[in-house]
Amino acid sequence: MPNPLSRRTILRGLGVSIALPLLESMSPSRLLAATSKPAAAPLRMGFFYVPNGMHMPDWTPKQEGAKFELPETLAGLSECRDKFNVLTGLTLDGAYAHGDGGGDHARSVAAFLTGAHPRKTNGADIQNGVSVDQLAAQQIGGATRFGSLELGLEASAQSGNCDSGYSCAYASNMSWRGPTNPVAKEIDPRALFDRLFEGQTVKATRRAKSVREKYRKSVLDFVQEDAKRLHQKLPEIDRRKLDEYLYAVRDVEKRIAGADRLGISEEGVPDYPRPSGVPRQMVEHSKLMMDMITLAIQTDSSRIVSFMFTNAGSNRSYPEIGVSEGHHELSHHGKSKHKQAQIAKINRFHVDQFAYLLKRLSSVSEGEGTLLDHCMLVYGSGISDGDRHNHDDLPILLAGSGAGRIQSGRHLRYENKTPLCNLYLWMMQQMGVQADKFGDSNAVLPNLT
């Protein structure tokens, strides 16, 4: 019987290494036709944050259980209707003032993954807690090339006053390696691509980039011979899967290259390199990042991801959906119907970007299901109503089947004030993390299975 393909097999070239997706040939049992089973897939978890709360009437389903109707904000998730649960009644106690006065936006991000109450300071003496993603990475992150990935669409800051005396470190980072160590997020698609698909040594990486830029080559050009040799050894089912994966890598790479150039406008502005490599349009920026999250999961490069759409208190406008006013200003709606309608548009826009990720994960077969089937992805905010700045009854959604651990497709209503950290404790235990308490948890969240 031939030896199974190693799960850690990679394609190599000059300064380039490309991990492979989970192939059937990586399972020893797959080589026995009579008793073959798909290779077991690892479990992953991710956390996706949106700022400024939600227009809750358009978020919360009216019905409980499996027969709930999708409210307007969640309508973009209709194709994945059975792949997520809406969780109502969860609370983030660490985001409340507890005598510290204003600063709900900064606290809502700082506490979102830590469950801690951050020290109010805009100086160097920041103090928070360890976040759930980093605690998990410390215990199980060694199984992958990257223990965790911290990503977003707006840059992190490590100092400054961002919200009523709270440091910008709180407002722009939700991953914390330690109480005083926020983990900055990567927002540049090109930098993330290079991180995922290049670099055996720094010297080789620089040399490869120089050659690629000179001859406009793809990373796949460097591993072409290695890919051909592997392709010849694989059964037909794995050849198709490998071809689909390499096509996806090249597609993302081409779009990143396109994002690096401004093009020629109707006013005749000449084409020239875009220094940041970040697309001007949030939709394309988000899609590129979501595609690379999919590739990172598909190749088992990391099993833990955090993602911030924008930083706490973000006041960016959304002209692409007809919203010219700032998000933060609109969130203080004072019950204005116009402002609430604009907030609902922004909420729907963010959910639609998350829906894109779920569809991508659902489109990739893995083992006996899809990538999404082997994920637990939390989407939501640490503020409920942006006008009230309340941190109870939060807008929280849990997507994915957790490799069969989660009964999805339901609206679950919990007793109000149930700690959000109860969900995180349950998730960590499913991932194999040794923990019997996290943040302000008082039990594991029930009724998920």
What secondary structure does DSSP assign to 240-294, as a single string? HHHHHHHHHHHHHHHHHHHHTB----TT-PPP-B-TT---SSHHHHHHHHHHHHH
Residue 436: CA count within 13 A, CB half-sphere = 0
Nearest to 166 by CA among 92, 97, 93, 91: 97
**What's the pTM value of the predicted model, to 2 decimals?**
0.85
CA angle 237, 219, 207 (to 5 degrees): 150
Residue spans per domain, the chain = 44-198+282-431
To the nearest 10°, report the CA torsion of 293, 299, 300, 301: -70
pLDDT score of 280: 84
Q: Among 3.40.720, 2.60.40, 1.25.10, 1.20.1280, what is the CATH number of 44-198+282-431?
A: 3.40.720
pLDDT score of 239: 78
How distant, in Å, are the alpha carbons of 109, 135, 301, 316 from that of 444?
22, 17, 28, 37
Give dist(CA 211, CA 14) in Å, integer: 9
- For residue 302, the SS3 value is coil
What would the DSSP string read from start to end of 136-157?
HHHHHGGGSSSS-EEEESS---
CB 121 within 8 A of CB 165: yes
Report phi then psi at 86, rounded to 5: -95, 125
For the record, the structure tokens of 293 come out as 């999250």
Residue 366: CA count within 13 A, CB half-sphere = 27
Give dist(CA 147, CA 149) in Å, integer: 7
Residue 396 pairs in a beta bridge with 87, 380
Give dist(CA 405, CA 375) in Å, integer: 10
Nearest to 1 by CA among 44, 42, 32, 43: 32
Residue 19 pairs in a beta bridge with 10
Angle between the N-to-C axes of helices 224-233 and 236-259, in degrees from 0 to 180, rounded to the nearest 10: 160
For the record, the structure tokens of 173 come out as 């980072």
pLDDT score of 276: 44
Angle between the N-to-C axes of helices 236-259 and 189-197, in degrees from 0 to 180, rounded to the nearest 10: 150
Give dist(CA 27, CA 37) in Å, integer: 8
Give dist(CA 74, CA 214) in Å, integer: 46
Give dist(CA 19, CA 173) in Å, integer: 28
pLDDT per residue, tens digit, the chain (449 aa), is: 455 666 656 665 545 566 777 777 775 444 434 334 555 789 999 999 999 999 999 999 999 999 999 999 999 999 999 999 999 999 999 999 999 999 999 999 999 999 999 999 999 999 999 999 999 999 999 999 899 999 999 999 889 999 999 999 999 999 999 999 999 999 999 889 888 876 443 444 455 555 445 444 565 665 666 667 777 777 877 777 777 777 677 777 777 776 654 333 333 333 333 334 688 899 999 999 999 999 999 989 999 999 999 999 999 999 999 999 999 999 999 999 999 999 999 999 999 999 999 999 999 999 889 999 999 999 999 999 999 999 999 999 999 999 999 999 999 999 999 999 999 999 999 999 999 999 999 999 999 99
Give dist(CA 208, CA 14) in Å, integer: 6
pLDDT score of 318: 97
For the record, the structure tokens of 272 come out as 């020239």
Nearest to 59 by CA among 305, 362, 50, 95: 50
pLDDT score of 84: 98
pLDDT score of 203: 44
